[in-house]
C-alpha cells in the first residue's frame, strides 16, 4: 500500500501533514533529501521544512545524495520509515537520483510501505515523466541527465505553486499546454495531495 504526501510548500501545509500522520509524529524520524535545492537564495526553504518536522516532534536526518556513495544512501533509505524529498530544480534532483541508481530503489521502498513526502520538485518526480515541468525548471543545470522518467508512483502530473510567486506564469503555462494531454493536478502553496493506502485525496 502506497502512502504519499505531496505539496508545493511544506510549511504551508503543516496542519494537513499532521492530520496525514494522525497526530502521531513525536519521536518519528524523517530521512531528509535536500539535493534539489541548489540555489543559495532558496536555501531557507530547507531550514523551514526541517523546522516543520522538528515542531511536530520529529527527528530529521540529512541525506545529501550528491555527496554520498550509492551503498550508503541505499542502506539509509532501506531503514527509513519516512522519506522527505525537498524542492528546488527537478532535473538536477532527477539526475542525482539516477546517478546513484535510486529510482527503482525508492519506488520499491514506497510500494513496501515507506512513507514518501515530496515538496515541489520532490512531488514532481513521483510522476511517470518529468519533462512537462521544463517550463518551470531549468533543464540545462542537469548536464548529465539523458531522459526524464520519474518514480512513476502516481498516475497524474503535479504542477506545484499554482498562481504563486515567482511561478505565476510558468505554472499557468504548464497547465494550459498539457491539460488535454496529461492528467494534470495543479496545487497552490496551501494545498496537498495525499495518497493513503493507495487512495487519493486532494486538500
> pLDDT-derived band of residue 51, with 50, 70 and 90 as boundaries?
very high
> pLDDT-derived band of residue 41, with 50, 70 and 90 as boundaries?
low
- Over the stretch 87-103, which tens digit does the pLDDT of each residue have? 999 999 999 999 999 99
pLDDT attached to residue 40: 60
Decide if 10 contacts 52 (C-beta within 8 A): yes
pLDDT attached to residue 197: 86
> pLDDT-derived band of residue 153, with 50, 70 and 90 as boundaries?
very high
Q: Point out the residues that are catalytic.
A: 120, 161
Instruction: Please report, for the domain that includes residue 14, its CATH number.
Output: 3.40.50.880
State percent of the chain over pLDDT 70. Answer: 99
Secondary structure in 3-state letters for the chain: CCEEEEECCHHHHHHHHHHHCCCCCCCCEEEEECCCCCCHHHCHHHHHHHHHHHHCCCEEEECCCCCCCHHHHHHHHHHCCEEEECCCCHHHHHHHHHHCCCHHHHHHHHHCCCEEEEECHHHHCCCCECHHHHHCCCHHHCCCCCCCECCCCCCCEEECCCCCCCCHHHHHHHHHHHCCCCCEEECCCCCEEEEECCEEEEC
pLDDT attached to residue 201: 77
Decide if 130 contacts 154 (C-beta within 8 A): no
Mean pLDDT over each residue of the chain, to the nearest integer: 95
pLDDT attached to residue 202: 72
Mean pLDDT, range 31-60, rounded to an integer: 91
Residue 178 or 42, more confident: 178
Q: Does pTM surpass 0.85?
A: yes
pLDDT attached to residue 143: 96
- Over the stretch 8-21, which tens digit does the pLDDT of each residue have? 999 999 999 999 99
Show the domain range for 173.
3-202
Quick check: 45 pLDDT over 90?
no
Quick check: 200 pLDDT over 90?
no
Quick check: 158 pLDDT over 80?
yes
Q: How many separate domains does the chain show?
A: 1
Amino acid at each position: 500500500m502506497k502512502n504519499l504526501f505531496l505539496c508545493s510548500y511544506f510549511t504551508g501545509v503543516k496542519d494537513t501533514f499532521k492530520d496525514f500522520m494522525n497526530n502521531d509524529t513525536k519521536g518519528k524520524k524523517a530521512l531528509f533529501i535536500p539535493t534539489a535545492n541548489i540555489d543559495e537564495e532558496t536555501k531557507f526553504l530547507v531550514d523551514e521544512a526541517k523546522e516543520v518536522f522538528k515542531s511536530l516532534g520529529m527527528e530529521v536526518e540529512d541525506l545529501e545524495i550528491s555527496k554520498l556513495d550509492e551503498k550508503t544512501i541505499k542502506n539509509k533509505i532501506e531503514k527509513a520509515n519516512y522519506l522527505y524529498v525537498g524542492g528546488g530544480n527537478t532535473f538536477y534532483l532527477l539526475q542525482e537520483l539516477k546517478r546513484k541508481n535510486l529510482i527503482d530503489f525508492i519506488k520499491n521502498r514506497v510500494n513496501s510501505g515507506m512513507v514518501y513526502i515530496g515538496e515541489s520538485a520532490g512531488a514532481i518526480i513521483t510522476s511517470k515523466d518529468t519533462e512537462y515541468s521544463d517550463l518551470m525548471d531549468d533543464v540545462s543545470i542537469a548536464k548529465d541527465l539523458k531522459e526524464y522518467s520519474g518514480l512513476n508512483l502516481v498516475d497524474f502530473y503535479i504542477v506545484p505553486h499554482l498562481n504563486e510567486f515567482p511561478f505565476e506564469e510558468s505554472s499557468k503555462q504548464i497547465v494550459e499546454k498539457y491539460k488535454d494531454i496529461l492528467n494534470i493536478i495543479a496545487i497552490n502553496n496551501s494545498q496537498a495531495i495525499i495518497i493513503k493506502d493507495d487512495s487519493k485525496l486532494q486538500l
